[in-house]
Amino acid sequence: MTQAPALEVRNLTTTFAGGRLTAVNDVSFTVLPGEVLGLVGESGSGKSVTLRSIMRLLPASGAVSGHVRWQGRDILTMSDADLRGVRGGQISMIFQEPMTALNPVLPVFTQIEENLKAHTDLDRAARAARARDLMDLVGIPDAARRLKEYPHQFSGGMRQRVMIAIALAGNPTLLLADEPTTALDVTIQDQILKLILDLRDELSMSVVLVTHDLGVVAATCDRIAVMYAGRIVETGTVRDVFAQPAHAYTRGLLGSVPHAGTERSMLLSIEGTPPPLDRIPAGCAFNPRCDFATGPCRARVPVLEDLAPGRSVACFNRTAVTAAGSPV
């Protein structure tokens, strides 16, 4: 029996500057209950804008179209009142920079309690007890004392844990994590990722994890969606995509990751940089940087096509890319 998706995104498109700049272009994906989906790509690929579009957390200059199906309803057409019940309660988000996402002039308890007030019926005493429980859950010791402290009194890793505690306050069933380990040292990064996976198992949450680190994807995700220039160019299970990438961009990302036993070998690099939104190349946006590009790549935009159930790619030369093998 096929499992119904927890979240279904269809043809999501996000534009700015009156439609002149397209940051997310016709993006579609699903997230199953209890699944961790990794959304990967270089900076500027559209990953963070995708998450913010799902939550309708865009500036006034942004416009979103498409469909975001959640529990039988479309988030993009919900009223503001209905959306407030979903955002922070049923779906929560961990933002990329905890020092800017947290309010520097409010103690941590006040910031956790705000979510509890909005999405639970707990009284003041119960909210205080729940806040202590959340601090314990995310591994912050001496919770009663630390709840009275301000964000600047926490280390980077502890601030990220506070952000996770706030996100979990409403008992969400979907967690959107926007590079939750950015700027953290590898030891703290590992702790945060293990915490998210433990919480996924304990609370039966689905997770969309945005990252540019394929090592993080390999350790935490069930499936992967690769983004470039606002489009998804390849999807599949982590095992399948790592073993046999079918898009040159995915292959380049995999080749740029150092791994054991390759101390004296050259890393595979991708020449050039992602294009700015006002200068997206014609055809496949990756073609100026692609070693496999041919005439059709410069003339037409490839469509995301299914290779197998749960496996898709948008590439005219996927046979040649696949034949080149995985650099992992």
Report the 10 Å Cβ neighbour count for 16.
16
- Domains in the chain, CATH or no CATH each: 7-104+173-324 (3.40.50.300)
Residue 178's nearest CA partner among 282, 67, 260, 57 is 57
Q: How does strand 231-237 pair with strand 305-308? A: unpaired
Distance, CA of 120 to CA of 113 (rounded, Å): 10
CB contact set of 68 (below 8 Å; sequence gap of 6+): 7, 8, 9, 10, 12, 53, 54, 74, 75, 76
- C-alpha 160/C-alpha 191 separation (Å) is 11
Tell me how far apart the alpha carbons of residues 242 and 214 are, in angstroms, rounded to a whole number: 9
Q: Alpha-carbon dihedral of residues 305, 311, 316, 319, nearest 10 degrees?
A: -140
pLDDT in tens, the chain (328 residues): 567 899 999 999 999 999 999 999 999 999 999 999 999 999 999 999 999 999 999 999 999 999 999 988 999 999 999 999 899 889 999 988 777 889 999 999 999 999 999 999 999 999 999 999 999 988 899 999 999 999 999 988 899 889 989 998 888 999 999 988 776 778 878 888 888 898 888 888 999 999 988 888 998 999 999 999 999 999 999 999 999 999 999 999 998 877 666 566 666 778 889 999 999 999 999 999 999 999 999 999 999 999 989 899 999 999 999 999 888 7
Q: E strand or H helix at 10, and its extent?
A: strand 7-16
